[in-house]
Structure formats: structure tokens, C-alpha cells
């Protein structure tokens, strides 16, 4: 059993005043199935890149095994070629027959190696690239968010495949995947780094118990500090009064005192002052012990939502709705019937390509105010969609929308706030609750991580009062802690919600109804 050892690792980006890692030390076994957990911006992907040697750092990283990283970076010029023609360009020492063995384990036809890569579905691309990754031997594999944009069937296949493997670090915010696959966790807490055996749920249960204990200890320390301060103040006041009484007494008024009394009072005062100093030292010790208790607690600050109530009970009604695109032989949607009522939370589910995003665009295209504000988003749909059947959307609906695409987030946050007519104070307060650091407010949004970009879109949606919230894969790249905050928010404020989301736990917890496509 060999170990990856990290000693006194220190690293920070040049354009940031804060360090990502500071004197971090830990070790993990290279045959573990290790889940890497932490909030967005805590350094998960950065750590993988440090292992790959992409950045300079202080400290030491020692590993008996070489690393390989997923997802592979595929140059645009390769995307029109078959994988068989360029897989040796994206990683070393790949053998076709080994890749084919791994593809068989994923129920993937080896014929896909010889089809143009860009024609493969997201699921087929991911599974084929994982087959290449695991076809190589004697490596410690670094797997970063393998299930983003995958439908339920593809996620299940990847989950079962990774369950049979070992010797990797997995970065994922999918709780279902983490629970099924990993046997250890490496947690980037707010102030410390923790290594623990078990899956995500095991770690989370332990963390909740530890947090409850630390909160109780913190309250106990606060009470003790209060009592000590009160005693110190009381004894200090007495000592000060006694010290003043040693001199300047009036023999007529204080006829029962003599000069010899001064020495007695002085001794008592000195003893009291000594007690005050001892109390102050105890207070300092209590404060020092208290300060370490809450450093890693995830507060999960509650979010707020301002849903509006629509004046009718039914917001959307579809009957035998069929949708096709010009030039395509088969309809994307066929004979779809459903309804969405006030206060309902409805999930749209189906495999990739089954028409989930198309259904959302069909709904949005029937809302004049939205169509006017987002002409680029709907242009392709409006120019190419051919519809039949019924799809009615209530008049006067106000919609708050989250797109799965973040590529339009560019420029300053100030421009984004102004263009979207957001309340700056409330918007930034929500971002802070989602743990976006204040220093990010000053950066251009194209420099954000994907998780940070998603938080911008989520915060913008949350601060927009609406009758209907339409979210298209909102949680891609969003950390587990923020997902839990958003779940609690939805269950508390009960907005009318139509959403697409591949996070199984989120959908099970939130959805009251399901529209199944395909």
C-alpha cells in the first residue's frame, strides 16, 4: 500500500491576496477510492492541477505513482476526428485493445472509436474518455466532475463503472455518486484539511455530530467567559476601592482606623489584584479554546426567495403537444400532455436529446416579456421549431430563468447587475450566503470558475420576484453545501418551479410531479 504525501503545501494565485493552501500536510493511499469534497473556490480543481505539475508551489508533494487527469483537454481540431485517430495525442501509452476492454465494461460499442467525436452524445463522450483513462496501468487517476451534463442513464453507467475501480481521486458534487463510489474522503474545510474513511453520507453524519458538539462547547465557553469577566470586574472594583481607602482618611470621621490598618488593607488589595490577574489568564485560555471550535462549521446561511402568486391556478397546459425542428426526421417531443399549477414543483426528466431544454424554450417563447428581454436565447428556436397540438402559458406571467449555459457571463459584476436590473445590495448578500468571496465581486466574470458562474445565475434568479421559476440544470458545478441551502430554500418558500436537474438527491427531495420525456 503506497501513499501520496503532501507536506507544508502552500499555494495562491498571483492575482489573489488569499492563499488557497497554507502549510497543508496530509497523506492518502493510492489504492483508495477518494472523494475530494469542499465548497466552490476551496481549491479542489487547483489541487488536482498541482498534482499534475501545472503550477509552482511551496512545500512537497511525493507520490509513488504518476497521475492522469479527467476530463482530457481535446483541441478543437480533433473534435471532427474519430477517437481512434487522436487518443494517443491526448494521453500517453494508450493501447486500442485495452480501451476496448474498458468500453465493454461500460456497455459501449467499440464502433464509437471510429465515429467523429463531435457526433457522440455527452454520455458516449464521457464513457469513451473514461475507458481511455482506465486503460492505462500504475497511475493514480484524478477525475474532475465526470457526470456534469449527463442524463440519468449515463450517470448510472458511470457510477457502476467507477464503483468497480480503485486508485483515484474523484471531485464531484453529486451525493448519490459519492455515496456509491468512494471509500474515503479528503475534505477541504473552511480552515483545515481532513482525511476520513467512509463515503459522503458517513462523513456528513460525523460532521453534523461534531458540529453539534462544538456548538455546545462554544456556548459553554461563552457562559464561562461571561462568568469569569463578571467575577473579575467585581473583584477589581473592590480592590480599587480598597486601594483608595489606604490613604487620606479623616481621623474624626474614621475614628476606628489607625495607620496600622494601611498594611492590612494593602495585603488584601494585593491578594485581590492577584486573583484578577489569574481570572484574566483563565479568560484568555477560554477564548483561545473557543476560537478553534467553529472554524470548520458550515453555517449554511438561510437564503430567501420572493415568489409571486399568479392570479389563476393553472400556469401551463399542454395537450398532445408535438415539436420538431426543420431538417430533422423525427420530432423532439411527440403528443405531450401535462399541466403546471400554482405552487407545484415539476421536474422534467429524460435522456440527453429527449427534448428537455426544447420544452423549456417552447414555454419561454410564449412569454412576451421574456422573449423581448432574451431574443438571442430563443432566436434559433423561433426560426426552426415546428409545433402542433396545444401548449398554453398564462398571460402576464413573470418568469425567473436559469440557463445551463454560462458562456454569456462576461465583463464586470456591476454591468451584470445594471443590465439585469438587480438590487445590488440584496444580490451581493445572496452571493455571500452562497459563499462567493467578496474579492470576486471586483473580477471580470469570464475569470470565474464554472461553479462561481452558476452561483451568479442562481443569485440573480433568487432576487427576482416571479410567478414561475424555470431552472435548466442549475446545479452543475455547484458544491454540496450550496445545494443543501437551495433545497431548504425551495421547501421553505414553495415557489412554482419547472426544472431540469440530473442530481438524483435534489430531484427526489424537491419534485412533486415529473414530466418524463423520451
Q: List Cβ neighbours of 7 (8 Å cut-off, separation of 6 or more).
A: 25, 59, 60, 61, 62
pLDDT at 189: 87
Q: What's the alpha-carbon Rg for the chain, to the nearest Å?
A: 31
pLDDT at 128: 94
Q: Is 164 helix (H, G, I), strand (E, B) or coil?
A: coil
Q: Report the candidate in 207, 109, 90, 218 with the shortest Cα–Cα distance to residue 157.
A: 109
Range name among 30-39, 73-82, 219-228, 351-360 with the lowest pLDDT average: 219-228
**Residues comprising the chain, all counted:** 518
Q: What is the DSSP string of 447-471?
A: GS-HHHHHHHHHHHHHTS-BSEEEE
Looking at residues 466-476, what average pLDDT do you find? Answer: 94
- Statement: residue 231 has pLDDT above 70: no
Cis check for the bond before 71: say yes or no (omega within 30 of 0): yes
Range name among 136-145, 256-265, 460-469 with the lowest pLDDT average: 256-265
Among left, alpha and beta (phi > 0; psi -120 to 50; other), residue 260 is alpha
H-only helix segments in 164-317: 175-181, 200-245, 261-291
Per the structure block, which three cell numbers stand in for 24?
Answer: 497543508
- Statement: residue 228 has pLDDT above 80: no
pLDDT at 16: 73
66-123 pLDDT per residue, tens: 999 999 999 999 999 999 999 999 998 899 999 999 999 998 999 999 999 999 888 8
In this prediction the pTM is: 0.76
- Statement: residue 19 has pLDDT above 60: yes
| First vs last C-alpha separation in the chain | 47
- Statement: residue 485 has pLDDT above 50: yes
pLDDT at 289: 60
Outline where DSSP puts E strands in 95-156: 139-144
- Statement: residue 416 has pLDDT above 70: yes
Burial of 44 (0-12, 13-18, 19+ CB in 10 A): buried
The 10 Å Cβ neighbour count of residue 251 is: 8
Q: Are 186 and 28 in contact (CB under 8 A)?
A: yes
Starting from the edge strand earliest in sequence, which strands make up the sheet with 58-62, in order? 21-29, 3-11, 58-62
Q: Are 517 and 347 in contact (CB under 8 A)?
A: no
pLDDT band at 248 (very low <50, low <70, confident <90, very high): very low
Amino acid at each position: 500500500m503506497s501513499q501520496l504525501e503532501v507536506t507544508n503545501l502552500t499555494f495562491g494565485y498571483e492575482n489573489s491576496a488569499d492563499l488557497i493552501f497554507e502549510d497543508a500536510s496530509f497523506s492518502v493511499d493510492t489504492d483508495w477510492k477518494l472523494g475530494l469534497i469542499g465548497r466552490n473556490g476551496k481549491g479542489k480543481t487547483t489541487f488536482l492541477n498541482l498534482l499534475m505539475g501545472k503550477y509552482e508551489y511551496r512545500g512537497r508533494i511525493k507520490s509513488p505513482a504518476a497521475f492522469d487527469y479527467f476530463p482530457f483537454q481535446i483541441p478543437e481540431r480533433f473534435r471532427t476526428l474519430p477517437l481512434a485517430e487522436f487518443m494517443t495525442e491526448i494521453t500517453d501509452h494508450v493501447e486500442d485493445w485495452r480501451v476496448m476492454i474498458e468500453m465493454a465494461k461500460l456497455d459501449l460499442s467499440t464502433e464509437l472509436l471510429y465515429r467523429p467525436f463531435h457526433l457522440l452524445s455527452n454520455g458516449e463522450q464521457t464513457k469513451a474518455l473514461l475507458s481511455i483513462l482506465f486503460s492505462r496501468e500504475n497511475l493514480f487517476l484524478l477525475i474532475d466532475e465526470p457526470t456534469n451534463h449527463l442524463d440519468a442513464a449515463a450517470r448510472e453507467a458511470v457510477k457502476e463503472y467507477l464503483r468497480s475501480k480503485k486508485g483515484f481521486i474523484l471531485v464531484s458534487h453529486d451525493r448519490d455518486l459519492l455515496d456509491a463510489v468512494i471509500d474515503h474522503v479528503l475534505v477541504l474545510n473552511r480552515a483545515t484539511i481532513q482525511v476520513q474513511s467512509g463515503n459522503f453520507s458517513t462523513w456528513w453524519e460525523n460532521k453534523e455530530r461534531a458540529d453539534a458538539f462544538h456548538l455546545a462547547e462554544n456556548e459553554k465557553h461563552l457562559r464561562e467567559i461571561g462568568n469569569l469577566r463578571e467575577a473579575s470586574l467585581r473583584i477589581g472594583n473592590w480592590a480599587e476601592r480598597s486601594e483608595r481607602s489606604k490613604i487620606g482618611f479623616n481621623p474624626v470621621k474614621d475614628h476606628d482606623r489607625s495607620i496600622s490598618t494601611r498594611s492590612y488593607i494593602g495585603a488584601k488589595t494585593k491578594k485581590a489584584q492577584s486573583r484578577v490577574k489569574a481570572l484574566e489568564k483563565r479568560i484568555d485560555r477560554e477564548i483561545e479554546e473557543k476560537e478553534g471550535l467553529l472554524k470548520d462549521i458550515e453555517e449554511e446561511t438561510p437564503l430567501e426567495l420572493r415568489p409571486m402568486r399568479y392570479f389563476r391556478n393553472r400556469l401551463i397546459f399542454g395537450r398532445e403537444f408535438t415539436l420538431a425542428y426543420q431538417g430533422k426526421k423525427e420530432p423532439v417531443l411527440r403528443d405531450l400532455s401535462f399541466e403546471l399549477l400554482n405552487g407545484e414543483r415539476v421536474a422534467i426528466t429524460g435522456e440527453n436529446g429527449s427534448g428537455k431544454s426544447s420544452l423549456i424554450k417552447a414555454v419561454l417563447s410564449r412569454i412576451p416579456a421574456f422573449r423581448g428581454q432574451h431574443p438571442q436565447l430563443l432566436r434559433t428556436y423561433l426560426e426552426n421549431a415546428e409545433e402542433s397540438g396545444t401548449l398554453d402559458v398564462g398571460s402576464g406571467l413573470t418568469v425567473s430563468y436559469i440557463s445551463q449555459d454560462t458562456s454569456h457571463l462576461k465583463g464586470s459584476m456591476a454591468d451584470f447587475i445594471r443590465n439585469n436590473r438587480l438590487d445590488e445590495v440584496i444580490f451581493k448578500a445572496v452571493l455571500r450566503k452562497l459563499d462567493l468571496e467578496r474579492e470576486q465581486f471586483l473580477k471580470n466574470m469570464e475569470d470565474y470558475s464554472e461553479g462561481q458562474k452558476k452561483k451568479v445565475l442562481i443569485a440573480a434568479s433568487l432576487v427576482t420576484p416571479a410567478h414561475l421559476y424555470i431552472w435548466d440544470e442549475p446545479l452543475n458545478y455547484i458544491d454540496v453545501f450550496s445545494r443543501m441551502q437551495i433545497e431548504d430554500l425551495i421547501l421553505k418558500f414553495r415557489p412554482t418551479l419547472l426544472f431540469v436537474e440530473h442530481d438524483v438527491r435534489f430531484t427526489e427531495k424537491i419534485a412533486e410531479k415529473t414530466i418524463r420525456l423520451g
